Structures are given as C-alpha cells and as structure tokens.
Amino acid sequence: MVPVNPDVTRFLHDGRLLAMPRRWEHRRVVARWLAHATLPDLLEPLGERELTDRLSELAADPVGARRAMVDLGAVHRTRDGAEYWRTELTEYDELVPDDAVEDATTSEGLHRTLHLDGRRIESVATFYDELDRVFMAGEDRRLRPGLDALDDLLRGGFGAAHGADRVTVVWHAFDRSRDALGFAATREHYLAMLADPRFDAALFRGRLADLEAGRGPTYAELVLEVFADHPGVELLLR
C-alpha cells in the first residue's frame, strides 16, 4: 500500500475513501493519491475494468473516483475510455526516474517520455548539456547551443523525440532551473554573444538592454516560449 499523507488520511475511513471531498484542492490531493496507488508506473496503460477493480479496493465509488482522477488531470485516457494512464508525478514518486527516456505503447502509438533533471542545470551551457544527455544519447553529434537548436530538436527530426507518436518532457526541479536560467545567467549569455564575432552584435546588444531595463525575458522564459511553439510536445514542470 502506498503511504498516505495527512491531507489524504482525513478523508479515509478504515483506509477507504467514502466520498471525494468537495473543495478543489482537497479533491486534487486525493486524486493524486488514488492515481499513484492504482497506476504506480508512470505512463503504463491500464484497461478500464482493471483500473476500476483497483479503485474498488480504495474507494466506495470507484467509477466516480476514476472520473474525478481524469477531470482533475491526474490520469489521462483514450477517447473511447478503454485505457488509462498516469502522466503526472506526485509526491509519492521518486524525483527523477533512473531512466531519462521511457517508452510506453498505447492504442494511440508510441508515447515517449523524456526526463530533464533540473538539478544538473546551473547555466545556459549546462542546460544544453542536459538536453544532450537526455535527447542525444546514442547520437554521434551534440546540439549546437541555442534556441534554434532546441526548436529543431522538438520538431522530432532527430534525437530521442524522433519516431514517437507522442512526446512528453518532464522537467524535474524546474524552480531550480528557472533560477539558474534567470537574469544573471541570461545577462552572462548575452555578454558572451557580444564577445563572439560570429553573432549579430546589434541584436544581442538590444536584447541585453531590454533585459537590464526589465523588459526582456530571461533565458528560462525564452525556453518555455520555444516549447509552447510545439503543441505536439507536452511539457510538465515539476
């Protein structure tokens, strides 16, 4: 049995959920617990009947609990409701799986999940080192650091995203990465671009001025914008 945190225990009677709580934040906590307890392996699909059977051991209304898990985003399902899988890490999961790349086959095809470890990211340069570690393992080349390279990578023409029908990128310890790719790192990056004659000095001078004036985005924000330009790539920030 998965350990239960106090926020869930208050809604259980003899270890069973009699009814979903009314408040959204409480329903969310309970849904995350149910999702991990019944679908312990991230992205591993499970049939509707088996999931309902597992939920019946934990909840008085397994069908309602199953519906709540989907409505609250803790579990996803195929359009016909035949298969369910968990896409969200919870407090019951280890922070970062041992494998940076995980594959799962569903009725919709190959779903590949890539895990970025934010604890490895300390600068713009180490961000691309982490992308190389996760996306380019086994490849005979490395990414050329830059947002254009990230954009190309997410298109799936090469690297770990290539050949997958669905791609999910789970960015663990994102808050730490956001700080590492914040104002100081962005400024340092722009100064390095200005010192390199291969790059457009006027362009990066303008970006640096905007950053220092509080108008320009940080590198972390620029990276998120690139991900947002690829709706086929699901980004989960943890």
pLDDT of residue 95: 56
Instruction: Please provide the DSSP assignment of 19-55 as one string.
Output: S--SSHHHHHHHHHHHHHHH--STT--EEHHHHHHHH
pLDDT (average), residues 74-79: 92
Same domain, 74 and 147: no
Indicate the number of domains in the chain: 2
Same domain, 105 and 223: yes
**Is residue 233 scored above 80 in pLDDT?**
yes
pLDDT of residue 178: 93
Identify whether 138 is part of a domain: yes
Same domain, 117 and 231: yes
Place of tokens 């509707």: 48
What is the per-residue pLDDT across 150-201, written as a single tens digit (0 to 9) for each?
999 999 989 998 988 889 999 988 888 999 999 999 999 999 999 999 999 9
Same domain, 63 and 178: no
Report residue 106's pLDDT band, with 50, 70 and 90 as the boundaries: confident
Identify whether 205 is part of a domain: no
Same domain, 35 and 74: yes
Same domain, 13 and 78: yes
Which range of residues forms the domain containing residue 74? 6-85
Report residue 5's pLDDT band, with 50, 70 and 90 as the boundaries: low
Identify whether 91 is part of a domain: no
Same domain, 106 and 222: yes
For residues 208 and 217, what is the distance between their CA atoms, to the nearest angstrom?
10
Is pTM beyond 0.75? Reply is no
